[in-house]
Amino acid sequence: MSLRVVFMGTPDFAVPTLAEIVGQGHEIVAVYTREPAAAGRGMDLKPSPVHRMAERFGLPVFTPKTLRTEEAAETFRSLDADVAVVVAYGMILPKAILEAPHLGCLNLHASLLPRWRGAAPIQRAIMAGDKETGVAVMKMEEGLDTGPVAMVEKSAIAPDMTAGELHDKLMVLGADLMVRALAALSRGGLSFTPQPEEGVTYAHKLKNEDARIDWSKPAQAVHDHIRGLSPFPGAFFTADFGKGQERVKILKTMPGKGSGEAGTLLDGDGSVSCGDGAVRLLQVQRAGKGPVAFDEFLRGVRIGPGARFS
């Protein structure tokens, strides 16, 4: 049986789920997404990835600034939806919205709840050195990712996997999981299990200071930090290449050789000493330039072994 679905999502991560729901024959009565944002050099208003996909399918799109007005609630209720599917929408749903669909609101979350509730579960899982994560379909309630869970799909995190690679893997797994959940829901066979009280962690929103590399940490922690922020926003260090302090992002590393004072470039191959051990820089990016291999980066700056990164 097909369902009347309101889809609520914004970034690339949500696009495969929208496409899969359409492909399964459910009726998308509306798509809610964040309003177009200024982007690019001209700062032109750019619709979200979900907005663009919805227009390709000819679906009605809503971009309210807030859902906390009676007008917004009445508009939502008038859609007479069976279920709302929420994937990285970017706005908190008030009680009036949560209670409007006949069968509730389902959220696709990129972690194995209750670990990594919150805004940045993919990055935080890698930064913490987790070996496994996954996606979960949860029934939404007013708390932050606290609702009961219906289905999960686990995924290993490889030792060198970046946040970008894990993002792309989980968005495909998540799309498949959500359409399976909707199929069960349409048959009346979707059951929910309350989240355990043990093991709760929070994936706090990333701030600029989270991206600075702390070379005093062990090499494994530095490696996990870098890959957890690659390619965006990118973990960074600062150094003086002759024109004052400059910020450089590191996008890819591997175990390095040698030891020394934390943050010291040890050799021409890109090994940098950490609090314990060293990491080897493989790919970096200077401000305003594209990513390059570290040896190519070295040819463009006046530094060598002994240089200090902070």
Residues of the binding site: 111-114
Quickly list DSSP for 239-250.
EESSSSEEEEEE
Q: Alpha-carbon distance 144 to 139, whole Å? A: 12
Closest by CA position to 132, among listed 104, 109, 161? 161
Quickly list DSSP for the chain.
---EEEEEE-SGGGHHHHHHHHHTT-EEEEEE-PPPEEETTTTEEE--HHHHHHHHTT--EE--S-S-SHHHHHHHHHT--SEEEEES--SPPPHHHHTSSTT-EEEEESSSTTTTEES-HHHHHHHTT-SEEEEEEEE--SSSS-SPEEEEEEEE--TT--HHHHHHHHHHHHHHHHHHHHHHHHTT----BPPPSTT--EEPPP-GGGGB--TTSBHHHHHHHHHHTTTTT-EEEEEESSSSEEEEEEEEEEE-----STTBB-STT-EEE-SBSEEEEEEEEETTS--EEHHHHHHTSS--TT-B--
Q: Name the binding residues for (6S)-5,6,7,8-tetrahydrofolate.
A: 111-114
